Amino acid sequence: MSKPLFIVLEGIDGSGTTTQLGLLERHLAGRGRRVHPTREPSQGPVGRLLREILLGGHRHADGAPVDGLAMALLFAADRRDHLCREIEPALAAGADVISDRYLLSSLAYQAQEAERDWVAGLARDLREPDLTLLLDVPVATAAERRRAAGRALERYDADDVQARVAARYRELVAADARAAVLDARGSIEEVARAVAATVDRLL
Ligand code: TYD
């Protein structure tokens, strides 16, 4: 059995990372591996706060939302805590860790509101994933999937924001030897097969 892997799924909102994470968990378990599925924002204290803010909660007295750079700091804080409290212990215990979002989310989303270098600096010394897979879908397809799933409108959901995030994701993956882009326009099963085939090359 090869060493425990840290694998991350990324993509714009509605790209299918959550669905595919569940299927990847099944696939790896079927290969006899122990798997620890997780996500960011995490289930920890900072992650729970972030989810409430993303849905429009915790506003200032005048109704203003949390500042964009403060959001970047919160995502970075959540990631540190998630890494130390959950990801590292799971890897040390011999499980593969598969995460719905990680560092590339901050580099793609927060770099819309903050300096890229500053956002990248917040991630210095962070463990890098063994593989990051970008599920690439057109912005309109992802928006339609979110509508069909009845998902609540979130902070970064506007189409122009999602289009900039999508473009930034592609640039980031092209510059990262341990990242790959997958065409995620197909059926759930087709995308799951592509994810599994890419992951199997690491086993
Ligand atoms: P998402 O992963 O779609 O979760 P849910 O299914 O609960 O809506 O939502 C998380 C949102 O947070 C999404 O819009 C991306 C954003 N995000 C960032 O902007 N930066 C980050 O570092 C992370 C992890 C998420």
Q: What is the pLDDT of residues 82-132, one digit of tens each?
A: 999 999 999 999 999 999 999 999 999 999 999 999 999 999 999 999 999
> What are the pLDDT digits (tens) for 64-95?
999 999 999 999 999 999 999 999 999 999 99
Query: Ligand 1 pocket, 154 CB below 6 A?
Result: yes
Phi then psi for residue 53, to 5 deg, are -65, -40
User: 6-200 adopts what CATH topology?
Assistant: Rossmann fold (3.40.50)
Residue ranges per structural domain of the chain:
6-200
- Residue 178 is classified by DSSP as T
The residue to mutate among 9, 18, 78, 105, having the most atoms of ligand 1 within 8 angstroms of its beta carbon, is: 105
Phi-psi region of 56 (alpha: psi -120 to 50; beta: other; left: phi over 0): left
Sign of CA dihedral 145, 110, 80, 93: positive
pTM over 0.95: yes
Q: What proportion of the chain, given as a percentage, has pLDDT over 90?
A: 98
pLDDT at 105: 98
pLDDT at 1: 64
